[in-house]
Structure 1
């Protein structure tokens, strides 16, 4: 890992391209540094004697002991000055200049050269095409944004500079502070993984936030973020969830975007909490940075407004939280403490004439209940209630109880001073009860991350050479797409398959069927016809006397469907009793960022209709594979729903792990589906396979 400490705590900063010209980036960076930075500022400009009162040097070679160089010159000059800075011993560079990978062919060439320079001199380089970095402990504001950050314990990175400036402006208004802020830009050298790792070791960062449009190396991100999230919560707003959004993100950043399913799976496996909006990002951050984790999912609600309690209850129903059931002792104490008209059951409605003292008594009792993991205080304004007094009571009780508390003091201007008081005590205030519950849900989600156990993937004894022979061109094929002719690949990795053989003549088909015995299944084998069922290219339960005619009929159907199709033959396969089990699918697609993305779900001909699937990034452990079998809606079918005998889920879990090992061992496999993988009480059997590969990688 690179040492980024001097990037955020420099003693001496050089601004290459500093100027006093109004409206210029060079002036904005100098002004921001002048306003707050504790260290030395060195403007670099060969055409000026000083900038904003700071003596200039003509080039970076004339500046000594520079910890951080901020580059704001045009792109065609930037490469030269960055090399000069590196040769003088500068290790940290922020390239604000645009005109690189986001700017066409010439820009891409510049960015590649920038990457080469950074590698040659081992530079910690942020950008290019960014607005800069800031760090509040040393007053560093090396950006050209209009707003500095307030001090705080949240560190934030963004792939969009506009998001940085907008967030800082909004956060100042809300009183939300930051430790470090980074505009990632094009991420030529340093990326999101580097900063997560840096902030994970930073004792002054309590929460890590990110707005990302892409992740450069998904596998590295998962591995490093998984270590960080054990101790520090990481929340990410990942845009580009839709196809249109992904295209817009790619055009914005010049980055290749992987599938949203891969991001969902990868972020979850890394312990990163993905949020859907910037509001959620900071709502959750406020709670995670200021409150303890709950010991249970039970939530107690105390309100003077019944409607707010109903809204909160609805939101709890949409989350992993539960409405806590109070003990008899709590119910009796609430009955004694509250007016007769009040409701002592959860949500506790202490009615509209409640003052701060009544709120306090109800809160004390609810917080003391052993079934309550967290509490939400919901209030509408009234003439007898002082929000300032209530805020003080909430802060005191939260500290005394050690349980997480959120407030929902609804209203406008009258809530401002109370909200500030709550914020000082680490208690966030939300206008909307649903926002408060979503934030508590995030707290509960992070509690699960902290307690999660990670296992090493099982390494099975497999026959890699046999698998390589099946995949190699010239062995049984010369095509990048394979079907049942690749069934031996599964056998090589220990995934059970029925007895079968591919034959080229009707006579051979009759002989194989006789050897297998009993009715057989027959399938056309062609790299040009992957959806065999759609053209009638599959026959099941074929009697031995009908095998000859079935062979000829299958070939005729194939040529009728596509006259120039390559026909490798017909597969004659042992019949598997699908009625005795459940048809599932196990598959993989190779994501450009995260690598092999595994899929498990309900299979057969309806897989694309129901889309009942779960995903993980390979390689997966036994625990992760088992989780996949629990996540699909059809999971009860595996465990014996409606009087059916439960199937061998352990065999499914092992098949997922073996496929995980296969696609990890062979990066040449781009896509692979085993469909159906029939699961019975006795085990699993792979009935069909199709895959696509990159033959150049074999």
Structure 2
């Protein structure tokens, strides 16, 4: 994943069309027609060995004959000609190609390579970017580029649309053209063999001409690249997506409840929420959301006020709002008094504010003025139904005049079509979002609410973990490997619980017994009452087959239950391999809730954690939520809050709340297990019992594999790089812990900033900064460890334990070409060598990561930093325009 040479694709200065044609309705003919009609300024060079000209433009016999190197080539030749064409383009020096040809994976180039693979090999050797194959093409209206075989041209706008489906592209083009919607980019990805969603989101995220990004997704090839790019871009501009295949279940043959419950669509939802992407479900909803979010004022809250001249449409709006779990604002008494003074006595006297059907623009304006002053109103929806008495255009102009200075978000809904068409145009021209139906208007408001929630999740500082905990990872892995070496992919229940105990997850005491009499002796030792369960590698859900008996009070009951259990299972499942029984103490907690907590491995996004309502009816109730690891306390809380059972866990009437903090901690520890133990494919704790005293796992199962892949390929989100921690003792005896920054470090970071001198601040930020806002501090502490890194020097113990004395951080570009650093050390600590140690640690980190260059900017009067850079081997260049030195250190070992 990278944005290398993407400018050649999206901002080419010349275009060649390989396979251009004069044959009517051929792809080569449509491509040339669209390119010539689009107004592209650069050379357009058709390549066709049999035609002297294409569309009136001089044609060239082959790629070698082209007079200039094309920055972008559009390839629309038969499959067999694709590889020779790519070779010629590479030799010519072309750096980007759109491959429209389909079927490249189905035909062989030679005995060992398909045409597709041979094409990709040529591109990789020459750093040539490929859009496609099997795509519709690309449009960038701002530069007049229509390198597509679309039937429809588009206007210039601020929305970028990116789709895997060519068919949907044509439908969206029709939809947008009918509504006068323009685009900054319109991109058909096709099979995403080179340029994929992550690459395009990275590029568009920093594109000044793009205000919002819309995605149509069928599947994700590169999960970590997609999430990293989306997470970075969504902090700057809205990203919306439609996902097809919503109802496909991904694990019908799963060995655990978790695997059976984890539908592919649920996992996708969890992934995009983690990345800050807003999901919508229709094309019209997507464009409405994009328009609303791109015009949104700073968001104040989620309470909506409604002004309407028709009670019926107002009620429809309220119904739609409640259905979407929205909040209708309550009017202050002072607002009602103000409205009484300007409205007829028959007005509604509540929200929605029905100002009666004959309301002219002046009445709307006075009502708006009164309602916008109400502190309970965060956003306002103004509605109008045409009547014979009023003029929709006059009313619209009155509304526009009334809200022009408001900083609250205003949405409008003029119902109808021809009668209100001119009024809608007024709203479009004034930059005010307008919608055709009450439901669409309310949906747009809720998009604002949901988008803001996503942004808050991205920026929220997680609470610190209540207690430090070091898991027994080696012990857990040993248990797993013993089972793998025995040829098993399912741990026994005692083994599974032992692994959970290694991660501090409380489980009920469980002991294996080979025979019925062994089970009796074990029960006597544990103490009654006990539960007896069958132990078999071939029976996963034991209670479904009579393999679980609870509340056995004495030896005779254990003996009878065990004998009956063996007889029943041997008759029903004669081929099942029985290993005996497990005996466990009965846990009785009146009023406790049964939960399910587990993980499964999604084929696209890798490990995913599930939480929900547990027990034997878990797959019927299907009350669950999912999240991608790693989790912290904040993310664990959000996971739990995403279920219906959360409301019961909080307590009600005379039922006390459960110990939610211990539940969140259990989820965090499970997340640690998932991150550390790549051998685990599926895991269930069902039921996990919870009450006000805490949680305990009554049953557990774990499925494992010997085929462990690295974290880089296994996890969709880079986990905290704990292996980079380092203990350090300076020459003066000061002890430090050098470690990567965590989101939980934000409060300590603020404390560190408060102890910096004005000179420290000036050297770091090139100006005077009193205090960084939370949004900026969140960016510095909530890192994507795939791209950015920051190391802290922390006092590990004593009265100053947890205090930060120094920070070094880098921002690494998506291509891993350069890392731009910044370093700060408290003034009272300077002179001890801490700054140099931090710099050397970061330089080595970037070198190990393969980053090519380490760079920074230093003010001329920051002599201490310039001297340090000189000692570390940096070169420097003075940038007169910016009045700073740019310092550069190559990181290749042969150049260092």
- What is the TM-score with the length of structure 1 in the denominator? 0.93
Question: Against the structure 1 CA distance between its residues 5 and 394, is the aligned structure 2 distance closer, same or farther, given a 3 Å change threshold?
Answer: farther
Distance in 1 (CA, whole Å) between partners of 2:484 and 2:151 is 64
Moved more, 662-671 or 490-499: 662-671
Q: 1:655-695 CA distances to partner (integer Å, 9 max, x unpaired)?
A: 21222222233344332211111123222211212233333
Other-structure match for 1:235: 240
Question: Against the structure 1 CA distance between its residues 571 and 52, is the aligned structure 2 distance closer, same or farther, given a 3 Å change threshold?
Answer: same
| SS across alignment from 1:337 | coil
Other-structure match for 1:99: 103
8 Å CA contact retained: 2:107, 2:115: no
Distance in 2 (CA, whole Å) between partners of 1:618 and 1:677 is 19
Other-structure match for 2:28: 26
Does residue 519 of the first structure (1) align with residue 532 of the second (2)?
no
Task: For residue 454 of structure 1, report the CA deviation from its aligned partner.
Answer: 5.3
Q: Which residue of 578, 583, 589 corresponds with 2:594?
A: 583
Does residue 645 of the first structure (1) align with residue 656 of the second (2)?
yes
Distance in 2 (CA, whole Å) between partners of 1:551 and 1:678 is 25
| SS across alignment from 1:482 | coil
Task: For residue 139 of structure 1, report the CA deviation from its aligned partner.
Answer: 0.8
Task: For residue 548 of structure 1, report the CA deviation from its aligned partner.
Answer: 4.1
Q: 1:203-240 CA distances to partner (integer Å, 9 max, x unpaired)?
A: 22111111111122334322321222122111111111
Other-structure match for 2:551: 541
Moved more, 575-584 or 186-195: 575-584
| Larger relative contact order (Cα-Cα within 8 Å, sequence gap ≥ 6) | 1
Does residue 316 of the first structure (1) align with residue 327 of the second (2)?
no
Distance in 2 (CA, whole Å) between partners of 1:176 and 1:150 is 7
Other-structure match for 1:82: 86
Other-structure match for 1:254: none
Moved more, 2-11 or 150-159: 2-11
Moved more, 21-30 or 292-301: 292-301
8 Å CA contact retained: 2:3, 2:202: no
Q: Which residue of 10, 13, 24 corresponds with 1:8?
A: 10
8 Å CA contact retained: 1:45, 1:57: yes
Other-structure match for 1:558: 569
Distance in 1 (CA, whole Å) between partners of 2:337 and 2:461 is 46
Distance in 2 (CA, whole Å) between partners of 1:352 and 1:644 is 50
Distance in 2 (CA, whole Å) between partners of 1:242 and 1:229 is 26
Q: 1:532-582 CA distances to partner (integer Å, 9 max, x unpaired)?
A: 112221122334523444443333333222112111221122222243522
Question: Against the structure 1 CA distance between its residues 119 and 464, is the aligned structure 2 distance closer, same or farther, given a 3 Å change threshold?
Answer: farther
Moved more, 645-654 or 269-278: 645-654
Does residue 220 of the first structure (1) align with residue 225 of the second (2)?
yes
Distance in 1 (CA, whole Å) between partners of 2:506 and 2:428 is 59
Distance in 1 (CA, whole Å) between partners of 2:683 and 2:536 is 16
Q: 1:629-654 CA distances to partner (integer Å, 9 max, x unpaired)?
A: 22221223323334233322122112
Q: Which residue of 587, 593, 598 corresponds with 2:609?
A: 598
Other-structure match for 1:307: 312
Other-structure match for 2:75: 71
Q: 1:567-619 CA distances to partner (integer Å, 9 max, x unpaired)?
A: 12211222222435221110122111111121111111121121111111222
Q: Which residue of 661, 669, 678 corresponds with 1:658?
A: 669
8 Å CA contact retained: 1:214, 1:258: no
Question: Against the structure 1 CA distance between its residues 244 and 46, is the aligned structure 2 distance closer, same or farther, given a 3 Å change threshold?
Answer: farther
* Pairing 1:321-400 to 2, within 5 Å after superposition: 321-400=326-405
| SS across alignment from 2:690 | strand
**CA RMSD in angstroms, aligned pairs only:** 2.5
Distance in 2 (CA, whole Å) between partners of 1:681 and 1:66 is 70
Distance in 2 (CA, whole Å) between partners of 1:476 and 1:641 is 49
For structure 1, which runs of at least 5 residues remain unmatched after alignment?
248-256
Task: For residue 317 of structure 1, report the CA deviation from its aligned partner.
Answer: 0.9
Distance in 1 (CA, whole Å) between partners of 2:204 and 2:263 is 25
Other-structure match for 2:472: 463
Task: For residue 157 of structure 1, report the CA deviation from its aligned partner.
Answer: 0.7
8 Å CA contact retained: 2:20, 2:32: yes
Other-structure match for 1:253: none
| SS across alignment from 1:670 | strand
| SS across alignment from 2:61 | coil
Other-structure match for 2:491: 482
| SS across alignment from 2:300 | coil
Q: Which residue of 165, 173, 180 corresponds with 2:185?
A: 180
Task: For residue 319 of structure 1, report the CA deviation from its aligned partner.
Answer: 2.5
Moved more, 134-143 or 361-370: 361-370
Other-structure match for 2:623: 612
Task: For residue 86 of structure 1, report the CA deviation from its aligned partner.
Answer: 2.4
Q: Which residue of 43, 48, 52 corresponds with 1:45?
A: 48
Q: 1:108-156 CA distances to partner (integer Å, 9 max, x unpaired)?
A: 9333333333322222211111110111110111001111111110000
8 Å CA contact retained: 1:293, 1:447: no
* Pairing 1:152-171 to 2, within 5 Å after superposition: 152-171=157-176
Question: Against the structure 1 CA distance between its residues 525 and 628, is the aligned structure 2 distance closer, same or farther, given a 3 Å change threshold?
Answer: same
8 Å CA contact retained: 1:483, 1:530: no
Distance in 2 (CA, whole Å) between partners of 1:543 and 1:329 is 69
8 Å CA contact retained: 2:534, 2:580: yes
Other-structure match for 1:415: 420
| SS across alignment from 1:46 | coil
Distance in 2 (CA, whole Å) between partners of 1:344 and 1:514 is 73
8 Å CA contact retained: 1:301, 1:346: yes
Task: For residue 511 of structure 1, report the CA deviation from its aligned partner.
Answer: 3.6
Other-structure match for 1:251: none
For structure 2, which runs of at least 5 residues remain unmatched after alignment?
253-261, 710-896
* Pairing 1:439-454 to 2, within 5 Å after superposition: 439-452=444-457, 453=459
8 Å CA contact retained: 1:296, 1:371: no
Moved more, 515-524 or 581-590: 515-524
| SS across alignment from 2:582 | strand
Task: For residue 477 of structure 1, report the CA deviation from its aligned partner.
Answer: 4.3
Does residue 630 of the first structure (1) align with residue 634 of the second (2)?
no
Question: Against the structure 1 CA distance between its residues 106 and 120, is the aligned structure 2 distance closer, same or farther, given a 3 Å change threshold?
Answer: closer
Does residue 58 of the first structure (1) align with residue 61 of the second (2)?
yes
Distance in 1 (CA, whole Å) between partners of 2:17 and 2:197 is 24
Distance in 2 (CA, whole Å) between partners of 1:246 and 1:505 is 35
Task: For residue 50 of structure 1, report the CA deviation from its aligned partner.
Answer: 2.3
Question: Against the structure 1 CA distance between its residues 416 and 110, is the aligned structure 2 distance closer, same or farther, given a 3 Å change threshold?
Answer: same
Task: For residue 106 of structure 1, report the CA deviation from its aligned partner.
Answer: 9.0
Other-structure match for 2:684: 673
Task: For residue 293 of structure 1, report the CA deviation from its aligned partner.
Answer: 4.1
Distance in 2 (CA, whole Å) between partners of 1:564 and 1:386 is 81
| SS across alignment from 1:354 | coil
Q: 1:469-500 CA distances to partner (integer Å, 9 max, x unpaired)?
A: 22226568422233414222212222122222
Other-structure match for 2:118: 113
Other-structure match for 1:250: none
Does residue 128 of the first structure (1) align with residue 133 of the second (2)?
yes
8 Å CA contact retained: 1:526, 1:568: yes
Distance in 1 (CA, whole Å) between partners of 2:377 and 2:134 is 49
Distance in 2 (CA, whole Å) between partners of 1:52 and 1:618 is 55
| SS across alignment from 1:691 | strand
Distance in 1 (CA, whole Å) between partners of 2:240 and 2:400 is 25
Distance in 2 (CA, whole Å) between partners of 1:330 and 1:646 is 39
| SS across alignment from 2:707 | helix
- What is the TM-score with the length of structure 2 in the denominator? 0.73
More helix by share: 1
Distance in 2 (CA, whole Å) between partners of 1:321 and 1:510 is 58
